[in-house]
Homo-oligomer: A and B are copies of this chain.
C-alpha cells in the first residue's frame, strides 16, 4: 500500500485519515470536542478531523485571551467550494470569542506570479472574494484583510526566513521543488506568522484552518516559529484540518484547476445544478442492485455536498446517509434534492453578496488604514 502523500501543489491522496495521526503527527479532533461549548457542522460531522495544538486555541477561548485565525485566498477567480470550506472554519472560530481576530491574506503577488493576473484585475476579484466571506458570516469588526502586494511585513518575514531555512529542510517538508514554490511556501509562512509581530499585538495563538494537503505549510511555519523564537517569541501556530471534498467528476479532490470537479459561488443556480446532475455518484449499476446493497456514500461527491455544505442540519445528513446506504434513496432523487439545496443556497448567497460589495470595499480600506497605522520605522 502506498504511503499517504500530502502535497500542497500536487495530487494528494489521503486514503485513511487516521493514518495521518501516526505518519504526520496530526492529532485527532474528536477527543477535544467536549471542550467546545458550541460545535460547527464541520466539527459535529467529522469534517474537521485533525489538528495541531488546537488545545491552545480552546485555552485562549476559555480564558478570554486574544488569538488570531489566519487564512487567505489566491484571487485568481471565483470563490469555490474549497474556499468556502476554509472560510466556514475561519468564521466559526472567529465567532467563538470576542477576543478572536481574523487575518485574511489576498495572495495577489502569487496570482500575478503564477497566473499572470495584474494587480488591477486581482483587486477587483479580491473585492468579490471578500464579499463572499462577508456573506458567509465573517464579522468585519474583527477582521483584517490585506493584499500581499501591499503588506511589506510578509515580504520582510519571508526574506528573513529564507536565511533561516536550509535546502535540506525544505526538501524534507516539500520534496525537491523549484525555488518559486519554496519561495511561495516562505511567503505563506510570513502570512501565518505576521499576526504575532509586536505592532500587531505580539505573540499569540494563531489558528490556521486548512485542507489536509496544506499541512506541509503548517509544519514549515511551526518549524520557523521555533527557529525564530529568540527574535520574535513566536507561539507555534495551531492548525485544524478539514477533509478533502470529493470531486463531482469522481476524482479524489475538488480542485480549482478542474472547474468541472465542483462549482463556484459565482456560478448561477442553473450552472451549478447542471454540474450536480452530471456528477459521479456512489450508486450501483442497477436499481435492483442498489435497492439490495445500498449505495456507497463514502465515495459519493453528492453525499459530500450534503455533508460538507448544504444539509439543513446534522440529522438531515444522517438521514441521507442512512437512506443512501440502505438502498432507500436512489441517486436521481438524491441529486434532485441536492440541486434544490444548492439552488436555494446560491440564490440567497448571491443576494447577500451583492448587498455586501460596498462593505467588502470598506473592509479592505479599513484594514489597509489599520495596517498602515501599525507600520513602524
Interface window among A26-34, A113-121, A131-139, A244-252: A113-121
Assembly CA distance A165 to B116 (angstroms): 15
Q: 8 A-B contacts, Cβ less than 8 Å apart?
A: A109-B155, A109-B159, A113-B162, A119-B376, A120-B377, A149-B152, A162-B183, A167-B178
- State which size class the interface on A falls in: 20 to 34
Set of chain B residues within 8 Å of A155, measured between Cβ atoms: 109, 152, 155, 159
Q: Which of A167, A170, A231 has the most CB of B within 10 A?
A: A167
| Smallest Cβ-Cβ distance to A120: which chain B residue | B377
Q: Does A1 contact B (CB under 8 A)?
A: no
Is the Cβ of B160 less than 8 Å from the Cβ of A112? yes
- Which A158-210 residues sit within 8 Å CB-CB of chain B? 159-160, 162-167, 170, 178-180, 182-184, 186-187
Partner of A187, one of B149, B159, B231, B376: B159
Residues of B within 8 A of A182 (CB): 179
Query: Which residues of B are found within 8 Å of A109, using beta-carbon distances?
Result: 155-156, 159-160
Residues 113-153 of A, flagged 1 when their CB comes within 8 A of B and 0 if not, give: 11010011001000000000000000000000000011010
| Contact B179–A119 (Cβ < 8 Å) | no
Residue contact B170 to A183, C-beta cutoff 8 Å = no
Taken together as a complex, chains A and B put the C-alpha atoms of A116 and B231 apart, in Å, by 9
Q: Is the beta-carbon distance between A180 and B163 smaller than 8 angstroms?
A: yes
A175 CB to nearest chain B CB (Å): 13
State A149–B186 Cα separation when bound (angstroms). 17
Chain B residues contacting A113 (CB-CB under 8 Å) are: 159-160, 162-163
Q: How far does the Cβ of A191 sit from chain B's closest Cβ, in whole Å? A: 13
What are the residues of chain B within 8 A of A184 when measuring CB–CB? Answer: 162
Which residues of chain B are within 8 angstroms of A119 by Cβ–Cβ distance?
Answer: 376-377
Q: Could you tell me the distance between the alpha carbons of A152 and B159 in the complex, rounded to whole angstroms?
A: 13
Q: Whole-angstrom distance from the CB of A68 to the nearest CB of chain B? A: 23
Residues B149 and A162 in contact, CB atoms below 8 Å apart: no
Bound-state Cα–Cα, A112 to B228, Å:
13
Taken together as a complex, chains A and B put the C-alpha atoms of A156 and B159 apart, in Å, by 12
A182 to B170, CA, bound (A): 14
Hey, what's the 0/1 contact readout for A85-125 against B, CB within 8 Å counting as 1? 00000000000000000000000011011101001100100
Set B114, B120, B183: member contacting A183, Cβ < 8 A: B183
Considering the chains assembled together, what is the distance between the CA atoms of A113 and B228 in angstroms?
11
Instruction: Please give 5 more A-B residue pairs, beta carbons under 8 A apart, in addition to A113-B160, A152-B155, A155-B159.
Output: A109-B160, A112-B160, A113-B162, A149-B152, A159-B183
